[in-house]
Amino acid sequence: MLVGSELVGQKLDRKQQKLSEYNERLQRLKCSLNELRAERLQIETDLQRRTRLEETKDELTKSNEALDRQILVNYLFFLKLINDRFVFITHCYS
């Protein structure tokens, strides 16, 4: 038979074991929380980078479109010069 102090000791041991289990679980949860925070920070950083890249892409697309228009204008001007020169040469030799 267990004496009162032995019974109290067993209950205390069980409660200490439970406390230890809760502390271990708490540590695991804290680790998980820290991992989730790090992951969230990485996602936020990636989203900011993506936003900057999309803005840069938009700027470069607009710049390319403007350069394409300028190339076309210059090409048409070049064709006009060639045509004018051809007309001039043809006129001189006719």
Give Cα 56 distance to the centre of its chain.
Answer: 14
Higher per-residue confidence, 83 vs 15: 15
Q: Whole-angstrom Cα distance, residue 45 to residue 40?
A: 9
Tokens standing for residue 40: 């969230």
| pTM for this prediction | 0.61
pLDDT at residue 51 above 90? Answer: yes
Give residue for tokens 């390319």.
Answer: 64
How far apart, in Å, are the Cα atoms of 92 and each of 79, 80, 83? 20, 18, 14
pLDDT at residue 89 above 80? Answer: no
How much of the chain, in percent, has pLDDT values that exceed 90?
Answer: 77
